Amino acid sequence: MKILLITEQRDATWNKVSFETLVAAQQIAAQTGGKLVGAVMGKGVDTLAGALATKKLDEVLLVEHDLLEKYTADGYTHALKQVIAQAQPDLVLLPHTYQVRDFAPKLAASLGKGMIGDCIGYRYENGKLVFVRQMFQGKTAADVAFQAAAPWFATLQAGAFRADQAQDGAAKAPVNHVSVNLKPEDIRTVPLELFREAKQAVDLTQAPIIVAIGRGIKEQKNLPLVENLAKVLGGEIAASRPICDEGWLPMDRQIGSSGQTVAPKLYIALGISGAIQHVVGMKGSRTVVAVNKDANAPIFEVADYGIVGDIFEVIPALAEELEKAKSA
Amino acid sequence: MNIAVCIKQVPAKDAPLQIPEGGAWIRETDIGFETNEPDGYALEEALRLKEKHGGEVVAISMGPERVKQTIKEAMAKGADRGIHVVDDKFFQLDPLGSARSLAAAIQKEKFDLILTGLQSDDHGFGQTGVLLAELLGLPHATIIMQIEVQDGRMRLKRELEAGWFQWMEAPLPAVLSIQSGINKPRYATLKGIMAAKKKEIASIPRASLGVDATPTQKVERIYVPAKTKKTEILTGTAREAAAKLVEKLKHEARVL
Ligand SMILES: Cc1cc2nc3c(=O)[nH]c(=O)nc-3n(C[C@H](O)[C@H](O)[C@H](O)COP(=O)(O)OP(=O)(O)OC[C@H]3O[C@@H](n4cnc5c(N)ncnc54)[C@H](O)[C@@H]3O)c2cc1C
Ligand SMILES: Nc1ncnc2c1ncn2[C@@H]1O[C@H](COP(=O)(O)O)[C@@H](O)[C@H]1O
């Protein structure tokens, strides 16, 4: 099976999920006895192409154009259609980043093909490739197989594979330029400046203890309960996205893919279901505690200690037991 | 400005999910359904744009008879009318087949803007908005946190990873997928609920749209993922469990 891996960079800096996806691509190539081709897109990214070429793959395609300097869905789709026409892959693998989810379904559909998105793994059994993805917010997994003729498209979730397992090549792979034809009128949107909101007031990345609250808290007026627990623990309070969306806590307290990524020595998740977008922001924590009334909540999958119960009973009890332990 | 909002109905957040043996979908009997939460933000954004620029808001939902309830709720909040693409087995559609069906219904009319939520809480494809744009031949933008319309163009704030944002411009018509948290969705008022009773829902059987829904992919089975990590579950009353936890954190994990 010939595999085309599409990497992602911005301003000549890799999005590191590219290398996690490389690991999956290397494994599938080895199992199916196929070739692996990696593509690097942008402008002035030849050094990145050179770096990718040190990895174990058969060829690197360098796709450069003035109109690819800044990402646009139209530009990337037009360019990649041409790359695919030349490379003729069976399987196109991409990292499931915000940028990829913005163009990859369009790219596949423009070729009349489908995409299996946000996969957490794959299986290759009896000559058949099956991708595994989550459904129902991580409460179930699904085995999904392609039906129609190749090329097939699949994206892999951040953290599904470990970038440090990427194999280096015995020799440097050839880097070949692919010239693509792009005209300004092909691109209907105008990308403008990137920015961050006003400076973050708290840096949660430095906090040794984080008490994080999710929608299980139900109402803003219940927050003092959690604030008190954080105080007793000497920790910072943080939250899942819906709590910040509601404005109950400021945005800079949000943990997850669109918030902060933290790795404290203790992370206590209270009434948080454990959706992947949250988990990517905290799974590096040394010790994780989860309290949830649903024994099947995905958050337990990343927890060292769990309590299946009502946070409105557990939080006060925990605060009291901690006070007791302190004075003992 | 005429705006279509795609709204999906999904199993209620706390619905117990039961998977029939070897099943590729959950058992739908005895569970509640609700509006896909992210779509509430898309609807709210559409209503605000209408209040500012005039026009109408049309709520579109594909699914079995029950999804009429979701359309009614959208109309109670202010959508002017609804389109129900009727298909009892819509959950079997793959992302492309589903988007082709919605696109065919949308194409029957003329909209300046088509809004979707970012992701559905059940399938979670995260593809529908982008696919609609491609199928309708329109430009698109995703993960949108702000929309300003002026002189037939839009200035958009797009969310990127890790706290970054980007401004961009797009022409109209276009398809946008809206990020949760962009606004504070309103509640339906009693007046709105009464007014909704007089609003119209056009029913279009999906089969009548004549779209090719040959699947590009197939869900072979769904299942509760096997636990890979050993989580130590602390049992007992809340107090007992809390006491055990403090003990563990102090002496086993040594993080206190
Ligand atoms: C592109 C994108 C980016 C995103 N970025 C982020 C991000 O950065 N961070 C983030 O957190 N999310 C993010 N999300 C949202 C994410 O998908 C989830 O929707 C979100 O994390 C869910 O938050 P939650 O767990 O608090 O709420 P829910 O999923 O509603 O879970 C609430 C949990 O509380 C439990 N519960 C309820 N009541 C009680 C009680 N009394 N006692 C105990 N337990 C109780 C329930 O069993 C449930 O498990 C993003 C989504 C997308 C699509
Ligand atoms: N059956 C449907 N009916 C109406 N809108 C839908 C349907 N399926 C998906 N959508 C829209 O597409 C968005 C993304 O869904 P998905 O691609 O399944 O994650 C949802 O938030 C809805 O706005």
pLDDT greater than 70 at residue B132: yes
Protein residues whose CB sits closer than 6 Å to any atom of ligand 1: A 137, 214-216, 240-242, 254-259, 271-273, 275, 277-278, 281, 291-294, 297, 310-312; B 13, 118-119, 143
Specify the pLDDT at position A199. Answer: 66
Q: How many other C-beta atoms lie within 10 A of the C-beta of residue B237? A: 12
Specify the pLDDT at position A202. Answer: 81
B117 CA from centroid of ligand 2 (Å):
7
Q: What is the DSSP letter of B79?
A: -
pLDDT mean over A144-173: 95
Phi, psi of B25 (to 5 degrees): -155, 165
Q: What is the DSSP letter of A169?
A: P
Specify the pLDDT at position A35. Answer: 97
Helices (H), chain A: 17-32, 46-52, 73-87, 98-110, 223-233, 241-245, 276-279, 311-327
| Nearest beta carbon to residue B131 from set A105, A265, A320 | A105
pLDDT mean over A123-135: 94
The whole-angstrom separation of Cα A86 and Cα A308 is 54
Q: How far is CA B112 from CA A191, B1, B4, in A?
A: 21, 6, 8
Question: Which residue in chain B has the smallest CA separation from A110?
Answer: B134
pLDDT greater than 80 at residue A19: yes
Quote the tokens at residue A206. Answer: 């430095």
Query: Long-range contact list for A179-183, CB < 8 A, 24+ apart?
Result: A180/A63, A180/A65, A180/A68, A180/A78, A180/A79, A180/A82, A180/A83, A181/A82, A182/A65, A182/A67, A182/A68, A182/A75, A182/A78, A182/A79, A183/A67
Question: Which residues lie below 8 Å from residue B216, measured CB to CB, with a gap of 6+?
Answer: A113, A114, A115, A146, A147, A148, B94, B96, B97
Question: Which residue in chain A has the smallest CA separation from B130?
Answer: A106
Q: How high does pLDDT run on average in chain A?
A: 95
| Nearest beta carbon to residue A188 from set B17, B122, B171 | B171
- Contact flag B121-A137 (C-beta cutoff 8 Å): yes
Closest CA to A84 of A95, A73, A76: A76
Q: How high does pLDDT run on average in chain B?
A: 95
Ligand 1: residue of A204, A240, A280 to mutate (most ligand atoms within 8 A of CB) is A240
Give the mutation candidate from B19, B26, B127 for the A interface (greatest A CB count, under 10 A): B127
A195 CA from centroid of ligand 2 (Å):
29
pLDDT mean over B211-240: 91
Give the mutation candidate from B91, B179, B222, B223 for the A interface (greatest A CB count, under 10 A): B222
The whole-angstrom separation of Cα A141 and Cα B206 is 28
pLDDT mean over A131-145: 95
What is the rounded end-to-end Cα distance, in angstroms, of chain B?
58
Q: What is the DSSP letter of B14?
A: T
Tens of pLDDT, residue by residue over A214-227, are 999 999 999 999 99
Q: What is the pTM of this model?
A: 0.94
- Contact flag B242-A145 (C-beta cutoff 8 Å): no
- Contact flag B181-A241 (C-beta cutoff 8 Å): yes
Question: Which residues lie below 8 Å from residue A80, measured CB to CB, with a gap of 6+?
Answer: A6, A39, A41, A63, A103, A107
ipTM: 0.94
Protein residues whose CB sits closer than 6 Å to any atom of ligand 2: B 6-8, 36, 38-39, 42, 60-63, 90, 95, 98, 116-117, 119-120, 123-129
- Contact flag B139-A73 (C-beta cutoff 8 Å): yes
Q: Is A306 helix (H, G, I), strand (E, B) or coil?
A: strand
Specify the pLDDT at position B229. Answer: 77
